[in-house]
Each structure stands twice: as C-alpha cells, then as structure tokens.
A and B are shown apart, each in its own frame.
Chain A
Amino acid sequence: QSVLTQPPSVSAGAGQRVTMSCSGSSSNIGSNYVSWYQQLPGTAPTLLIYEDNKRPSGIPDRFSASKSGASAILAITGLQTGDEADYYCGTWHSSLNIAVFGGGTKLTVL
C-alpha cells in the first residue's frame, strides 16, 4: 500500500480534459514539493511536473498541476492517444526521511 493515494484509473475522450488526484499527509505533500511522472508502456518514468506546478522544458502546457494542503492534482487538457500512460506523484516524507510515490493512475483515452 502506497503512502500517497492515487485513483487506480481515469478515462476521458480525446480532446477532453481529465484530472487525477494524489493525497498524502502533512508530513509529505503538506510540507514538501510534489512532482509528477509519466510512464509510457514499457518505458522508464519521465518528469512531467516539478515543485508542485512547474513544467520542465519540452512539456506542453496541456499538462498542469496544483496543490492544496496535503493533496495535489494533475490536469491534462486536449487529451491525445499518446497521453495514455501511468502517472505517478512523488515527494519526500520529512519525518521518516524517505521518498514516497503514489500507487499510480492509469490514463485511458477513449
């Protein structure tokens, strides 16, 4: 069982908008930056969002994220079939000195 809680799956139609959540506690999300990762089938994860809501260069602005308290949300607009992937949130857990990830959310584009 992951320390951070993500819904196992979400789905939406091509061109639509989807959101996925990541819930933690005051010791992890509530006191540290959250980052998001995209893992396409059969590949390693890649950085999608850092410091709660910032995009690395090369990540389109269709991807956005926010954080409030001990929860974070990733939003994807203008869904494309190429966005089908697993999405993970991650952060540091201060009191335990460990890093934690969510269990991942599988995105299906209908």
Chain B
Amino acid sequence: QVHLVESGGGVVQPGRSLRLSCAASGFTFSGNYGMHWVRQAPGKGLEWVTVISNDGSLRYYGDSVKGRFTISRDTSTNTLYLQMNSLRIEDTAVYYCARYFGELSSWDHWGQGTLVTVSS
C-alpha cells in the first residue's frame, strides 16, 4: 500500500528557510514515478510547485518558486525533499507531495500535507 508522509512544516519568518520531507513507502521509489510538490494556500486551489524525475536528472519549477526552492530525492531512504529558501508570506500553504505515475498520466497518490506558515 502506497504511503506518502510529509513533515517539516511550521511557522517561519519571511526570508528564512525550511526543508520539507516526504517519506515514501509501499512502492519502488526509483520506479517510473515522477515526484511532485503541490501546494494549496488557505482557502485557495491547488498550485503545482515542482517535479523531479525518477532518476533525479530532470527538475522543473513553477515560476513563483524558481530560484528559491530546490527539489531532491534520496533513493537510499525513499525520501523526497523540498528545500525552501527566501520564504515569502505568499508561500504560506499546505504542501502536498504527490506521486505521478507515468502509465496513468496522473498523480495517483498524495500525502496528507504539511502546513507552512510564513509570518513575522
């Protein structure tokens, strides 16, 4: 059974950094799965943040986080990371990690999310 469990959220001041983790289990982490971060600001819709390919060779970012956020994955621990630097108030959101299954062309499993609040 696939499980994605995010952690690392919390309250942080503008301009500071935070690293989110997503522990994956129940599937071959290095298989045909891109791993994504998707966020949702309070009361708002889903916003795609970033993706990393199954072998880590490709990474793409949304314009709102490009140059500030870095996605990475550790296949030895089956963990996805999101390093968030220079945080802004508008980065406040629940951050979900989601598995993208190429054979279904969709995000077939999502974590429960972790809340990041950027506030002075």
Residues of B within 8 A of A (CB): 36, 38, 45-48, 51, 60-63, 96, 98, 104-113
Give the docked Cα–Cα distance between A50 and B105 (Å). 7
Chain B nearest CB from A24 CB (Å) reads 14
Residues on A with C-beta less than 8 A from B63 are: 98
Chain A nearest CB from B40 CB (Å) reads 8
Instruction: Kindly identify, within residues 35 to 92 of chain A, every residue whose CB is under 8 Å from any CB belonging to chain B.
Output: 35, 37, 39, 43-47, 50-51, 54, 56, 86, 88, 90, 92
The count of A-to-B residue pairs whose CB atoms sit within 8 angstroms is 66
Give the docked Cα–Cα distance between A100 and B90 (Å). 18
Q: Select from chain B the residue with minimum beta-carbon distance to A44.
A: B110
Known: A50-B104, A97-B60, A99-B51. A104 touches B110 (CB 8 A): no
**A50-B108 in contact (CB<8A):** yes
Residues of A within 8 A of B (CB): 2, 32-33, 35, 37, 39, 43-47, 50-51, 54, 56, 86, 88, 90, 92, 97-104
Known: A51-B104, A88-B46. A98 touches B110 (CB 8 A): no
Chain B nearest CB from A31 CB (Å) reads 12
Give the docked Cα–Cα distance between A47 and B38 (Å). 14
Give the docked Cα–Cα distance between A39 and B40 (Å). 11
